[in-house]
Amino acid sequence: MKFTAEQIIDKSAKWVISFFIASAGLWLLAAALLAYCAAAKLTDPFFLSTFEFFTYGKVKIAQANAFVYGWGGNSIFAVSIWIIARLAQAELRGRFLLIASGIIWNVGITLGLLGILDGHMNAHEMLEMPREIWPLLFISYSVIASFIIVTHRSRSKHETIAPQWFILASLLWFPALFIIAWNGLEINPARGTLQAVLSMWFGQSLIWLWLTPFALGVAYYLIPAITGRPIDKYYLAIFGFWCIALLAPWSVVHHLEGGPVPMWIPAIGTVMSIAMIFPIAVASTNFHATAFKDIDIVWNNLPLRFVIFGTLSYTISSYIGVVFSLPAVAKLTQFSIINEFHFNQRVYGFFSMIVFGAVYHMLPRVTGKDIPVGAKSFHFWTSALGVLMLLLAYLIGGLTHGVLAQQPSLDWASSVIASIRPYFLITQIAFVILGLSQLVFVINIWKVLFPNPFQFLNNSSNDSAKNAVA
């Protein structure tokens, strides 16, 4: 039996990718459950309130960490391994070490989340897991990223293209961000609000320099691969890439507007946030000009529909983000639940939707089996509905929250917060829909990855039967 080059590559990566996708799926479910609990606690403060390990703050933080590191990290590994190997036309290297490091990564996150619930939370944004866990995560991440880069370096073609830049950059930026933040917060800790600047910078940059470039890279790969057309105005992609590299690390600090830090920090953040319209415009031109040449394929091809949902969400909500970084608007919204809008649009509406598309695209190629169309379609529509509900509730609720909070005469609990409580209820419903949607997704990918999980039982019983006959 003869295999094509692609099939050999896919086969070489099959178990590694299966491992990472399967773990990503479990983390997605864990995050969905925690998200529901957090939302339920906001609508009914007495919900599970008697358990010390389950306070609202802990659940909320655990959810963000499970989502970003558990689901985000594992899916980044799975999808980048596949895309980098495919683009390099090279077999995956270091399969055993990759799976071993993957196990360490997942065990580390599990311990970290248990640590948060047990009361060992750190005060730094997106570094809330207990400090003992981080060396473990950092080492396992470095091993995984190194092997992806090794695979990339054994490529047959010297020239690189946009998806490779974005994915490799995101793989390299995360450890760099981590070292900077870890050094400034733990090893050689800064005093006073300098810590807050650094911790906010890390937390926001993680989204902008880890999740975002990765998802953009996947979109740069999948859109031409599925539509069969080259990226329209591809020459702009390199400009977009360097704009993100140069502007994004500066733009994230505008959230400190009016806070106890030197004024230049939020000011420079605002300027750079406005400049971010260039990379946003480039990415959206590249993606949408290419995909919308053929509306039918966007509509009919499910992975592409997911990806385009993600890129549209990226474009629209990034522009909204630019508007919200203007000082006049920022002072209304900066401490409101609009922060939830920013987090969820980026991690759910953009990153996750693109990852769903990528998983649906690569799973049949890697395993040779496909997921039923009905399940995929259900997943798309429920996810789209859930994400839209969630984002609209946080957007409108956030604006209401911010505007009312600026009226000093309104009582806090009975006027300001009471008026956004309906939006908390909507988010709770949205998290139920999303939870169901993700459950269908995870059950289906598990069925494809491990079609017969109890096979070894059958084998052993067959063996014993044979032995008995013998």
Partner 1 sequence: MNNIFKFSIGILSALAFAWLAFVIGARKQFGDLEPTSSFLEDNGSIPEGAELFPKQLAGIAQQGAKEYISLGCTTCHTQQVRLEDSGFDVERGWGKRPSVARDYIFHEDITIGNTRVGPDLANIGLRSYSKEWLHQHLFEPQSLISESICPPSPFLYEEKDFDTNNAIKLTEDQIDKPRFIVPSLKANRIVSYLASLKQDYELPEMSFIQQDEELIETSELSTVSVSENSDSNLSELPTWLASQIASGKEIYMKAAPGGGLCFTCHQPTGLGLPGQFPPLAGSDWVLGDKERLIKISMHGLMGEIEVNGVKYNNVMAPPGIPPGSLTDQQIADVLTYIRNDWGNSASSVSPAEVANIRSKVKDRAPMQMWTSAELKSN
**159 near partner 1, judged by CB under 8 A:** yes
For partner 1, which residue of 6, 52, 186, 370 counts as binding (CB under 8 A)? 52
State whether the Cα torsion 13-18-24-25 is positive or negative. Answer: positive
Contact 336, 330 (CB under 8 A): no
The least CB distance from residue 129 to partner 1, in Å, is: 13
- 341, 337, 344, 340: which is closest to 320 by C-alpha? 341
**Unique residue bearing structure tokens 């050689």:** 188
- 464, 291, 317, 287: which is closest to 388 by C-alpha? 317
**173 near partner 1, judged by CB under 8 A:** yes
- According to DSSP, residue 112 is labeled H
The least CB distance from residue 166 to partner 1, in Å, is: 10
- 307, 306, 300: which is closest to 284 by C-alpha? 307
**Interacting residues with partner 1 between 273 and 332 (CB under 8 A):** 327, 330-331
**404 near partner 1, judged by CB under 8 A:** no
For partner 1, which residue of 98, 405, 434, 445 counts as binding (CB under 8 A)? 405
**50 near partner 1, judged by CB under 8 A:** yes
For partner 1, which residue of 12, 74, 75, 199 counts as binding (CB under 8 A)? 199
Distance CA 195, CA 190 (A): 6
CB atoms < 10 A from the CB of 57, how many? 12
Candidates 66-74, 77-85, 198-206, 458-466 — which segment interacts with partner 1 by CB under 8 A?
Answer: 198-206
**418 near partner 1, judged by CB under 8 A:** yes
Q: 278 Cβ partners below 8 Å, 6+ apart?
A: 239, 240, 243, 247
**201 near partner 1, judged by CB under 8 A:** yes
Strands (E), 183-319: none
**Interacting residues with partner 1 between 242 and 271 (CB under 8 A):** 242, 245-246, 249-250, 253, 255, 257-262, 265, 268
Amino acid at 418: A
Q: Of 168 and 440, which CB lies nearer to partner 1 in the complex structure?
A: 168
Provide the token pair at 101: 């490091």
SS3 228: coil
The least CB distance from residue 117 to partner 1, in Å, is: 10
Contact 345, 313 (CB under 8 A): yes
Residues 345-364: x where in contact with partner 1 by CB under 8 A, - otherwise, as a string: --------------------
For partner 1, which residue of 187, 408, 467, 468 counts as binding (CB under 8 A)? 408
The least CB distance from residue 115 to partner 1, in Å, is: 10
* φ/ψ bin of 155: left (φ > 0), alpha (ψ from -120 to 50), beta (otherwise): beta
**132 near partner 1, judged by CB under 8 A:** no
Distance CA 342, CA 355 (A): 18
**122 near partner 1, judged by CB under 8 A:** yes
**40 near partner 1, judged by CB under 8 A:** no
Residues 80-119: x where in contact with partner 1 by CB under 8 A, - otherwise, as a string: ---------------------------------------x
Q: Of 384 and 430, which CB lies nearer to partner 1 in the complex structure?
A: 430
